[in-house]
Each structure stands twice: as C-alpha cells, then as structure tokens.
Amino acid sequence: MITRMSELFLRTLRDDPADAEVASHKLLIRAGYVRPVGPGLYSWLPLGLKVLRKIEAIVREEMNAIGGQEILFPALLPRAPYEETNRWTEYGDALFRLKDRRGNDYLLGPTHEEFFALTVKGEYSSYKDFPVILYQIQNKYRDEARPRAGILRGREFLMKDSYSFDIDDDGLKTAYHAHREAYQRIFGRLHVRYVIVSAVSGAMGGSASEEFLAESEVGEDTYVRCLQSGYAANVEAVVTAIPDPIPAERIAALPEPVVHDTGDTPTIATLVDWANGASLPQFAGRDVTAADTLKNVLMKVRQPGGDWELLAIGVPGDREVDDKRLGAALEPAEYAMLDDADFDRHPFLVKGYIGPKGLLANGVRYLVDPRIVDGTTWITGADEKGKHVVGLAAGRDFTPDGTIEAAEVREGDPSPDGAGPLVAARGIEIGHVFQLGRKYTDAFTADVLGENGKPVRPTMGSYGIGVSRLVAVIAEQQHDELGLRWPSTVSPFDVHVVIANKDSDARTGATELVSELDRLGADVVLDDRQASPGVKFKDAELLGVPWIVVVGRGWADGVVELRNRFSGEKRELAVESAAADILAALG
C-alpha cells in the first residue's frame, strides 16, 4: 500500500497541547494520531487507528491461539444483571448510567462478567460442554473522576476482556496459565517492557490474581519488587516478611510489663520522647524509636448488608496504616474512622492511650501487623489517660484475633521470600489475569449437569487487556526527544519515504522506488508534499515509522539513504537495489 502525505488526513502540530502532561499524550496529539473531543474522550485519526488495529489484531491472534472464541456484547446494557451482582451500586460514580425513552435503566458496560456468565448459562447445560474461553474486543466505559494522560486513562476505551469457564479448579488454573502465557506473547510482540505483579482482587472478589504493569515513571500503579529473586507485587498485594519466631525460653525470660505514668503523651512522638528520658532497663545502650511502640488504630467496619462493628489494628509505631492496603484487606467490607460520638459511646477507648488489653477485655476485634509475632515486646497504651505500659509481650500478655496486611510498605523492607530488600517503582496496568471463581456463576445459579448426574457450578476466570491504552504505553516507552518510535509490529507504515530533492528526476525516482516497495508487499508512506526537507525530516521523526528512506542530494550519484529511527544509524543504498535492500532491512 502507498499512502501519499499530500492526501493523508494528517496535520502535525509544532507545539505541545497546553493540557498534556505526559510524553505519549503530547506526541500522539502533535503527530496527529488522536484528537481530544471531550474530557477522557478521543478520536482516532488515520495513523492512530492503524496502530490501534494492529495491536488489536495481535491480541486477537494470541487469544485465538489459546482457543478463545470471539463474541461481542452491546456496550449499552440493561441494569438487571448488574443489580443481581450488586455492581450497579458498587461501581458508584464510575458507572455511566442512563434511561431509555420508557424510563428503564441502562448502563454503559465497564466489564461484562454478568453477560458472559448469563450467556454460558443460556447455551451450555452439561459438564461435557466445558472448558470454554470466550472473549470480546470492545469499547468499555468508566466515568473516571480525573481522566488524565490522554488515552492512558480515558472514559471510553478499547479493551479485550475474556472469561474462562471450567468445571473444576484445575481447569481454571489451566485457563489462567494459558492466558498468562498468551499475555506474555502479546506484550513481547508489542515490545512492551513490563513486570507481572501479584495483585489483590480489588472490587471483583476472588483468588489468584496478577497484573501486567508496563514499566513507566508516569504510571499510576506503585509496585515493589525484589531485584534478587524477581518477586513483584502491587502495593496492595505485598505480603509482609514475618520475623523468625522467638524461642519459648527467651519469651519465658522476658520481664513482666510495667505500667508507667507517661504524662501528656498522646502521640507516638511524645511517647518516644518520654521513653528516651525514662532510662528504661530494656533499652539500656540504645535509643527508643517509634518502631518500639505499638500503635492501635481504631475504626468501624461494615460487611455488605451488615452493621457497623469496631475494629482495632495494631501496627509498629513507625508505620502508618496504608489506605489502599487496608481497603484491599477488608474487601468487600467498607470501613470508616471513628468520630467523637463513637468515642463517647465507648468510654473504654481512651484516645492516645488505647492498649491491647482494654480492646480485648471489651470485646473489640483486634488485628495486628504480621511483624507483631509472639514474644515481641512493646511500649503501648495502658487504657488510662497519661499511662502507657512498657514490655507488653505479644502472645503472653495479649493475644490478638489475627493479623492483617494494612501497614505501609517501604523501600528496603525485606522481600517475603527472604531474598533481599524491596524496591519500589511505578507502572501502567496493561493486563490483568484473575481466578475469579464462582462469584458470578453463584449470582446467576449457572449450574450444569455434572458427570455424576448432579448439578455442578462452573468456575470463572476473568482476563483483561487495555488495547487502546497500549497505544499510549508503547508511545510512552519507545519515544525519544524527537518524537514517536513504533516497533515494526505496530507501526502505521513499514517505511517512510521522504522526497528531499526538488529535482523532478528525484521525484520520479522516489515514486518508482515506492511503487517497487509496494509491489514487494511493504506498506509505505511517501512524503510527496511541497515542503522543505527540514520540515519533512522533522515530521518523519515525529511520526515514528521505524525506517526512513531519504531521496535527496545523493540521488544524482545513484544513492538513497536508509535511516533507522531507533538506532539513528544511516546508510547509503544504491538506487538499483534499494527496494530489495530496504525489504531486507525490514526483516
């Protein structure tokens, strides 16, 4: 195919758009790949659409290769099934809701678990029908609070969502791993640099779950990894490295806890100051730090459909409770901090002096950070104003109701596999694989006949790829200071031929070269515009086709120039064999 820039619906921009913050957003607009039409809404101009379709085709190929069957649901969906699973409400403001002319409720689909489950229920009736993997590549809608970074986080975006249905957990695992490998092939073909991180389930409930994060400074997701072992996890999913157990004889030898008058010490900082002035025998020879204190954070928690109940979380005093980790750990329950009325209702809660003994004596559910193992001793509240206890031993003096992964994760924390410290980085979620389980087949009682003649309920996996987001991710990872750079697998063209010579012979020669490239099967864009060579070179660099051919001054000497947009390497090719040489370079 030959595309002439003199006819192409494309106008590049010299300046960055005013509201663009990240490089991919700036460049995709400047290079005329996309245009904004509203907050989080973009139109795809010819070049952008070509890249999008190429990514879509690669995703489709790899989904078909693992036996995925493509189907397509409407984006406009009736409310009832989402009501059944409570997602109509749970999605909150992120769901686009609307009414039809009869006043019935509809939504624009954010994901389609409900309809896939209902469809399989509708078509299949026996265990013999399974396994099956179904997918669609379709526009999704989410009313983001702050749509940002161009197509990295839009409100209408193209997504591949697939769903596996299996009779048993082994089947689900097989489908999960098939997807995981397909995703690795897809992102490999797209030349995306990514990590696979453990993830918690988020709003969807379920068990095994991993995210594919494209490495990027502009990513919204923070993850940590251990460079020694390769362990990687979303912040929400990080498992705390548990200290070695303390031998029983050492616990037996611990001094009894002592309650002290600590004065006005309602904060960790004031408590540490007091402790360092108190010449406590346990700390002879070293300073007391916040890590020696046990901070008890009070909140109330409500399970879906249940009542508010008190919950206390104990963490070492040098760590905050991380909202994201707390939310994920409590999922699907919601939580809220206590207000004054709550404190008034529970006079045993002495603000600033709350301790494990008072909590447990009053029946408050008490969960602690996994670092608080049996035999660790703490400076903590003594449940009376101005009093703290020193040397309170977990497991001996108090026994929590369990542990919770809610304390903040820090760079330098040990990896849970013991291999070394964790380092933090940012990424952009490009894929998610998820052993969803029976949440949706339960909701719709999607039973089929089992091998033994009794009903059996299929288990689901749910797998997503952000197809339109990948256009921005590739732009973000591959661009340089001159413009975009596309891997050949997704580039809008194979070769960009620039006529940089006003000589009519050169023009004719370029046209012939392009015809020959087309004949050999290359997809070529020809810059045949009446513009200066400088303008044309700048545009070629901005557009980012991986190979640039310049028909310029060398023409008179029988040579054209081939440039590699990634390496910057240039070499001269003899005109006679130029087309064949270029094809060979494309690989």
| Whether the Cβ atoms of residue 206 and residue 437 lie closer than 8 Å to each other | yes
Q: Provide the 10 A C-beta neighbour count for residue 139.
A: 14
Q: Which is nearer to a second copy, 13 or 242 (CB)?
A: 13
69 lines the binding site for a second copy (CB under 8 A): yes
| Whether the Cβ atoms of residue 149 and residue 22 lie closer than 8 Å to each other | yes
**Sign of the CA dihedral running 29, 35, 37, 40:** negative
14 lines the binding site for a second copy (CB under 8 A): no
Residue 113, phi then psi, degrees to nearest 5? -50, -45
| Whether the Cβ atoms of residue 382 and residue 259 lie closer than 8 Å to each other | yes
57 lines the binding site for a second copy (CB under 8 A): no
9 lines the binding site for a second copy (CB under 8 A): yes
Residues 206-225 that bind a second copy (CB under 8 A): none
Q: Which is nearer to a second copy, 38 or 243 (CB)?
A: 38
What region does 558 belong to: left with phi over 0, alpha with psi -120 to 50, or beta? left
Q: Which is nearer to a second copy, 122 or 255 (CB)?
A: 122
Element (H, E) at 146: none
Selected binder of a second copy within 82, 91, 96, 398 (CB under 8 A):
96
Cα–Cα distance measured from residue 476 to residue 462, given in angstroms and rounded to the nearest whole number = 27
Question: Is beta strand 422-437 parallel, antiparallel or unpaired with respect to 459-466?
Answer: antiparallel
Residues 154-173 that bind a second copy (CB under 8 A): 155-156
Q: Which is nearer to a second copy, 315 or 467 (CB)?
A: 467
Selected binder of a second copy within 2, 16, 17, 35 (CB under 8 A):
35
Q: Which is nearer to a second copy, 35 or 185 (CB)?
A: 35
Q: Which is nearer to a second copy, 179 or 565 (CB)?
A: 179
| Whether the Cβ atoms of residue 327 and residue 313 lie closer than 8 Å to each other | no
365 lines the binding site for a second copy (CB under 8 A): no
Selected binder of a second copy within 65, 98, 203, 535 (CB under 8 A):
98
The owner of tokens 């940089």 is: 500
What region does 568 belong to: left with phi over 0, alpha with psi -120 to 50, or beta? left
Tell me the Cα Rg of the chain.
30
74 lines the binding site for a second copy (CB under 8 A): yes
Cα–Cα distance measured from residue 583 to residue 587, given in angstroms and rounded to the nearest whole number = 7
Minimum distance, C-beta of residue 451 to a second copy, in the bound complex (Å): 16
10 lines the binding site for a second copy (CB under 8 A): yes
In sequence order, the β-bridge partners of residue 461 are: 164, 435
Selected binder of a second copy within 16, 56, 90, 97 (CB under 8 A):
97
Cα–Cα distance measured from residue 348 to residue 174, given in angstroms and rounded to the nearest whole number = 52
Residues 239-298 that bind a second copy (CB under 8 A): none
Size of the site for a second copy (CB under 8 A): 50
Q: Which is nearer to a second copy, 109 or 317 (CB)?
A: 109
Minimum distance, C-beta of residue 81 to a second copy, in the bound complex (Å): 9
Selected binder of a second copy within 141, 163, 486, 537 (CB under 8 A):
141
Q: Which is nearer to a second copy, 394 or 490 (CB)?
A: 490
Scanning 90-98, 293-301, 375-383, 470-478 for contacts with a second copy by CB under 8 A, the matching segment is 90-98
Scanning 5-13, 209-217, 412-420, 426-434 for contacts with a second copy by CB under 8 A, the matching segment is 5-13
| Whether the Cβ atoms of residue 180 and residue 210 lie closer than 8 Å to each other | yes
78 lines the binding site for a second copy (CB under 8 A): yes
The owner of tokens 């031993």 is: 393
Could you tell me which of 339, 330, 355 has the C-alpha nearest to residue 265?
Answer: 355
Could you tell me which of 494, 489, 525 has the C-alpha nearest to residue 54?
Answer: 489
Scanning 17-25, 71-79, 186-194, 352-360 for contacts with a second copy by CB under 8 A, the matching segment is 71-79
As a three-state string, the secondary structure of 166-220 is: ECCHHHHHHHHHHHHHHHHHHHHHCCCCEEEEECCCHHHCCCCEEEEEEECCCCC
| Whether the Cβ atoms of residue 422 and residue 225 lie closer than 8 Å to each other | yes
Minimum distance, C-beta of residue 17 to a second copy, in the bound complex (Å): 12
Selected binder of a second copy within 2, 75, 254, 301 (CB under 8 A):
75
Residues 109-138 that bind a second copy (CB under 8 A): 115, 119, 122-124, 132, 134
Cα–Cα distance measured from residue 45 to residue 129, given in angstroms and rounded to the nearest whole number = 43
Residue type, 16: D
Q: Which is nearer to a second copy, 95 or 498 (CB)?
A: 95
76 lines the binding site for a second copy (CB under 8 A): yes
Cα–Cα distance measured from residue 339 to residue 184, given in angstroms and rounded to the nearest whole number = 48
Selected binder of a second copy within 56, 84, 90, 143 (CB under 8 A):
143
139 lines the binding site for a second copy (CB under 8 A): yes
Minimum distance, C-beta of residue 409 to a second copy, in the bound complex (Å): 31
Q: Which is nearer to a second copy, 139 or 174 (CB)?
A: 139
32 lines the binding site for a second copy (CB under 8 A): yes
Q: Which is nearer to a second copy, 91 or 555 (CB)?
A: 91
Minimum distance, C-beta of residue 16 to a second copy, in the bound complex (Å): 16
Encode burial over 70-98: b for 16+ CB neighbours within 10 A, e otherwise.
eeeeebebebebbeebebbeebeeebbee
Q: Provide the 10 A C-beta neighbour count for residue 199.
A: 24
Element (H, E) at 447: none
End-to-end CA distance of the chain, in Å? 18
Q: Which is nearer to a second copy, 73 or 566 (CB)?
A: 73
535 lines the binding site for a second copy (CB under 8 A): no
Q: Which is nearer to a second copy, 87 or 155 (CB)?
A: 155
Minimum distance, C-beta of residue 31 to a second copy, in the bound complex (Å): 13
Q: Which residues form the interface with a second copy (CB under 8 A)?
A: 7-11, 32, 35, 37-38, 41-46, 49, 52, 67, 69-78, 93-94, 96-98, 100-101, 106, 108, 115, 119, 122-124, 132, 134, 139, 141, 143, 145, 155-156
